[in-house]
Structure 1
């Protein structure tokens, strides 16, 4: 139902699952396991897997913390989008990558829920994409010292409001990793 009818395909988006980003993230290992399962499933079904990798002054490109976690090896044929802002579309080639692959539906996983995940799902939705957030395949760190709710509440709230998000001609959805289908 995307507003991009010439793009009937689905892609798996893996956002910022980098060593320094998820080192202390809520339920890190379970989330990474769920993402790894989805990556394997997408590859088996010839669904594009698009990797997003953040860098900024606190996460220096090329550093150990900037590297993706070893549990999620990227294939050389899979695109990586380098970003410097929360929204993976902002000042990147993500739109070009997805357009070339005919993608109008994104299945979103990664980190951090209250920053890059939220920015990207909203950025995709406003650009016309259908967006499925995988409820047990995104995570965040504990930012309660700065006034945020605990991580489990941030994740639960994001899953709740995204489930009911709507706009003309687009679908927002939340599903668990085990129920993800990559059908068009």
Structure 2
């Protein structure tokens, strides 16, 4: 993988989505201050924020970026990783803001809350990226899968299998990025 085009794509995507990122950060701070203790609040809110950030990175919202990214010297999977990294950064920042705000009022009250929330939000964001490049029923189905993945991660963690939740999120996120790369290659073959 080439570092310069990767960093350029991530930086350009973050800059283009700065308004959405700022909104999710402020919302995370506010909700983190007001939400009750427990694991459901951070997982649900941060996963929904990750899905929103992933949908904000949909093709066509910034056509100049789409053209620049297609001319970058990256192949399908490399381009998918670069395009997926910016929404993941935004989602992780949102989760960190939520957890920091919750910590100022006394914490979430659940041990290992940070790795549980971060792994679930990255998984939901990556699955939602597959929805961002589709329209109609396939988009709705991928959004349903993203919500279901976040719910499954939550229930695995609540059942007491924190390592199982982390493993589930890692494996599912791997397949989500792989599917995203294959879909990008199919929609715009080189």
Higher strand residue share: 1
Larger Rg: 1 or 2? 2
Q: TM-score range by the shorter chain?
A: 0.3 to 0.5
With the length of structure 1 as denominator, give the TM-score of the two structures.
Answer: 0.34
With the length of structure 2 as denominator, give the TM-score of the two structures.
Answer: 0.33
